[in-house]
Amino acid sequence: MLSRILVPMDDSEHASHALEYALENHPEADVTVLHVVGVPSMMMGEAVGLTLEDDISEAAAERAEPVFKRAREVADEHGRELNTIVGIGHPARNILDRAEDYDTIVLGAHGADWSRATRRFLVGNVAETVSKRSPVPVIIVH
């Protein structure tokens, strides 16, 4: 039985499906939603913009709030509560750095709608990277 599940989320539909899967299939587990901000981009826009803030942690939390709001709405539909964590930087690295604290990771097959070429060039496919390197089981939801 799984007692602790990590669900990395961005604003994609696949991420919402992953959260729904975790909540529906593991009703007794503590679910934690991780959102990573400051993701590398072609011009390093989000990452650079974050570093220019006076309080990086506060700015990261503000940028994560829309994703957490959606996650809480999904959890409310299932009568569940969840924990939230904000990460800064590379999504796969953030997920893998936390993996050993959980029994499994449930993530969407695809993230936010960047072009496939851009996503692979800059950060690789997060689901692929996490599934290959995770020390705990990974469930990929389509």
pTM score, whole prediction: 0.86
User: Contact 42/118 with Cβ under 8 angstroms?
Assistant: yes
pLDDT at 121: 46
Average pLDDT taken over every residue of the chain: 86
Domains of the chain: 4-141 (3.40.50.620)
CB 5 within 8 A of CB 32: yes
- Amino acid identity for residue 121 in this structure: F
pLDDT for 1: 83
Mean pLDDT of 49-78: 86
User: Two tokens at 114?
Assistant: 């960047």
51 CB contacts (<8 Å, ≥6 apart)? 38
Look up residue 91 and give its amino acid. Answer: P
In the predicted model, is pLDDT for residue 130 greater than 90?
yes
pLDDT in tens, 27-61: 999 999 999 997 655 445 555 555 555 677 888 89
